A and B are shown apart, each in its own frame.
Chain A
Amino acid sequence: MTERNRELFALIPASLLVTAGFAAVFIQRDDAVSDVSLTYGAVFLALCVAVHIVLRLKLPNADPYLFPLVAVLACFGLVMIYRIDDTLAREQAQWFVVGLVAFAATVIGLGDHRKLERYRYVIALTGIVLLLLPRVPGIGQQVNGAYLSVNLGPVSFQPSELAKIAIVVFLASYLRDTRQMLVQGARRVGGVTLPPIKHLGPLLAVWGLAMLLLVFIRDLGSSLMFFGGFLALIYVATNRLSFAAIGLALFAGGTWFFASTVGHVQDRVATWRDPFDDRLYDQAGGSYQIAQAIFAQADGGLFGEGFAQSVLNPPEGPPLLPAADTDLIYAVITNELGLFGAVALLCIYLLVVERGFKTALLATDSFSKLLATGLTAVFALQVFVIVGGVTKLIPLTGVTLPFISYGGSSIVANFILLALLLLISERARAEAKEAR
């Protein structure tokens, strides 16, 4: 099978999943088997095939698995959000289409990802402005103590989703130029290679930025995501584990300091350490959310309660799972599909990440290699931050689960990220094929 036929073939199970998922939700809701679910499956398949045709024409050699994997993720998102709230699902479906259009536009309009390198300072500036936008009075919006979203009339979006791409593009092109310099003059002290003091500058600058982010938008999750992505890039660029280790130590020190001084971060850490504490549980914005998420996941068992079976909004009292459509969607999935469903979901993410790093391995120039690594690392860290938060491995933060959580900016930004990965993959695989 050629690459593109593989891709087309893999889209079939994706649309079957949409059909099965919607059918199960319909049965639970109306007690009737409805052929509407078949229509939904068909529409989903048609949309995916349309994008597949764009890929067939523009990127014939690109990685065949990435797009179907993402389609399955989107299917999870649509079914689960529909199950939580119909109107949100309709909006999510619209955003999914917008995301596909953005994906196709990036593939067709950009054509070659290396063009981005020319505008790296503009891109970096855009990224930083986007990150700080939620703090601008009037349009910025505070949700649960963190400044992550922007309200522009009817549309509200999370600029950090787009900023993550901009910052990775900048770092990749910056490190491509300076990586040689970063390594030169390194000394070995007691078996550990230490970078020269003067070249710690960039590392410290980005660390400072991450800390600033922590103070400004008060979100540990995004800060971890950005800084982790940067460390992954610097490790790949210099092959020096010491750089990554120093960076991690600095980050740990910085977060510890802020966790004990900034109020909002402090609360998050307290609820993470002891979610079942009575005082914290009853407090507004306390550990209710995370405690309920843990109960929901435990309740799922091996195979889950089944689609649309978990009780999210009891007739009286507060919702059992606050923010079920965004932050806690992973808990809903675990509750309804059980351990098996959740593990399958994580496997899909794992495979997406594997294909991303594979693309980086195949690329033949530094910028492509670093860009693919950075985009994949940021994507993987985002999944880690939110799934880790919901499972109480790290403090819970308001990062979206890529392609699944409700939210337009998240879907669109992640589709752009996917388009960039496929553009890199196209060049790399075409060259590998030629050389064979």
Chain B
Amino acid sequence: MLDPVSIALKFAFLGVLYLFLLWVARSVLRDLGRTARGTAATGAGAPPVAFRSPDATGMHTASGPPLSDGAAPRLIVEAMSGVAPGMEYDLVDEAVLGRGEVEIHLEDPFASGRHAQITRQGNTVVLEDLGSTNGTYLNEDLLTGPSPLHAGDTIRIGDTRFTFET
């Protein structure tokens, strides 16, 4: 039985379906283009999860040995690749965190070469993001500008987490 209405409905179904697909595909393509430009602008050439072969030797170039008398401001490792939780980094006056040759070396694929900086200004300690690709999180909020640290604050870069203590 070839009912014209039925045939019309079939083509209407296919028509609506393809229009829908075209619309979604167009929006999705535009979305993809935008991200490609966005990453190019921030200079992140590295694939997101893939990481360079880790060189174990560059692991512990921290600022000063992890010793503490309990009064100085310090970072306590909560989660960090290659470092046991509970280890502490003393913050002397200025420390850069990142994947490159910096004071606190992070073996974390989400960290930029020079990712964030912690500076002592008198009695306050200030955390600042150095234009990293994936951002620095203070108490799980994305850091937008320099921000003072308080005892008990958590700092997260990628999968690495520290607690700040004084």
**A contact set with B: CB distance below 8 Å:** 6, 10, 13-14, 16-17, 20-21, 23-24, 27-28, 31, 33, 65, 68-69, 72, 176, 180, 183-184, 186, 236-237, 239, 303-304, 306-307, 337, 340-341, 344, 347-348, 351, 354-355, 358, 360-362, 364-367, 369-370, 431, 434-436
Contacts and interface: CB of A to CB of B under 8 A. Distances in A.
Contacts of B19: 13
B107 A304 contact: no
14 contacts: A10-B20, A10-B24, A17-B17, A20-B13, A31-B3, A72-B20, A180-B107, A183-B54, A303-B11, A307-B6, A347-B21, A358-B28, A358-B31, A367-B159
A176 B160 CA distance: 12
Given A27-B5, A307-B10, A337-B10, A354 B53 contact: no
Contacts of A68: 20, 24
Interface in B114-166: 134-135, 142, 144, 158-159
Contacts of B50: 236, 239
A20 B32 CA distance: 32
A23 B142 CA distance: 51
A34 to B, nearest CB: 12
Interface string B101-120: 00000010110000000000
Interface residues of B, number: 45
Interface in B37-77: 38, 47-51, 53-54, 56
Interface in B1-33: 1, 3, 5-7, 9-14, 16-21, 23-25, 27-28, 31-32
B82 interface: yes
Closest 10 CB pairs of A and B: A239-B50, A24-B9, A13-B20, A20-B13, A306-B10, A344-B17, A434-B142, A27-B6, A364-B134, A366-B159
Contact of B23 (A10, A237, A347, A355): A10
Contacts of A176: 159
Contacts of A358: 28, 31-32, 35
B16 A13 contact: yes
